[in-house]
Amino acid sequence: MRWRVLNSGCGNPAENMAVDEAIMEGVIKGTSLPTIRFYTWNPPTVSCGYNQEVAKEIDLNLVKQNGYGFVRRPTGGRMVLHEDEVTYAVITKCEGRFSGSITDSYSEISKALLAGFLAMGVNVELERGSLSSAHQRQTTNPCFASSSKYELNYQRKKIVGSAQVRKENVLLQHGSILLDQDQSRLALLLPNLEPEQRDKLLQYLAKKTVSINQILSQPVSFSQAVESFMAGFRKNWGNDDFFVAKELEPEEKKKSEKLVESKYLTDDWNLKK
């Protein structure tokens, strides 16, 4: 398989989600190559999963007061605070190593990311257990509060949170790799919590999550982390071909700009549930 690699750098919430979807549409139509993309967020952003009820699970006034952006993802999963992180996206047809189940594809991608962590000297492990659907639906249970099978942990602390969507035999999996911040600040943004409850959740998230630069004695930058993760993909998918592209294709750029305005900046999408 031939992969295009994109380092998109900083994008705003609507742009980041729109670009992922535009590439996915291109892969469906056959006009875009399978893509591995890395990016980060400006401003720091809270995202919710496709099926979440925003009014019950996030206080948008607190989000705004703290200077964070907000967007609904096209993928499932639960709330994530995107702050000082490396976000990855893998977009490809469900064939070859991705012809199996969602869990199988999670495993393939996590093993490549694991190799990238090891290249940085971060000894992560694959989660071997499974998370019940009831636990995942808990209102005050952000994405990083617990680990699903094949997600990555460091000393039982979650360091990567991922989610996937499939459409017309194409998958989009993206995820947050914590670089400089854990997820504890998310506790400050949840609704209907008494101060004591909020403090307990903050402490719990601090215990359950960890970032790369909280582990390493010599911090790494966003660019250095991306290089390590790309080395991990190349190592694990050694029979594949990778090339680095500087920018989106014109059709992808046009489609993403349209999606920003028609979807990811709208209340109809972001607050639909």
Average pLDDT over residues 213-235: 97
* Contact call for residues 93 and 36 (beta carbons, < 8 A): no
pLDDT at 130: 55
Reported as a single tens digit per residue, the pLDDT across 7-36 is 999 999 999 999 999 999 999 999 999 999
pLDDT at 172: 98
Reported as a single tens digit per residue, the pLDDT across 124-164 is 999 776 544 344 444 445 555 545 667 899 999 999 999 99
What is the C-alpha to C-alpha distance for residues 60 and 63, in angstroms, rounded to an integer? 5
Handedness of CA 148, 130, 121, 113 (dihedral sign): negative
pLDDT at 62: 94
What is the C-alpha to C-alpha distance for residues 245 and 232, in angstroms, rounded to an integer? 18
* 48 assigned to active site: no
* Nearest in space to 15 (alpha carbons), one of 260, 269, 270: 260
Q: Which of 10, 48, 94, 143 is catalytic?
A: 143
Reported as a single tens digit per residue, the pLDDT across 79-111 is 999 999 999 999 999 999 999 999 999 999 999
Q: Show me where the domains of the chain are located.
A: 2-121+163-182+219-270
CATH class held by domain 2-121+163-182+219-270: alpha beta
* Contact call for residues 124 and 154 (beta carbons, < 8 A): yes
Reported as a single tens digit per residue, the pLDDT across 233-267 is 999 999 999 999 999 999 999 999 999 999 999 99
pLDDT at 87: 98
pLDDT at 137: 40
Average pLDDT over residues 61-76: 96
* Nearest in space to 181 (alpha carbons), one of 66, 90, 103: 66
Q: What are the tokens at 107?
A: 């495993």
| Beta strands at 241-245 and 170-178: parallel, antiparallel or unpaired | unpaired
Q: Can you give the pTM of this predicted structure?
A: 0.92
pLDDT at 139: 40
pLDDT at 133: 37
* Contact call for residues 216 and 121 (beta carbons, < 8 A): yes
| Helix, strand, coil percent content, the chain, rounded in steps of 5 | 40, 25, 35
Q: Tell me the pLDDT of the chain averaged across its residues.
A: 92
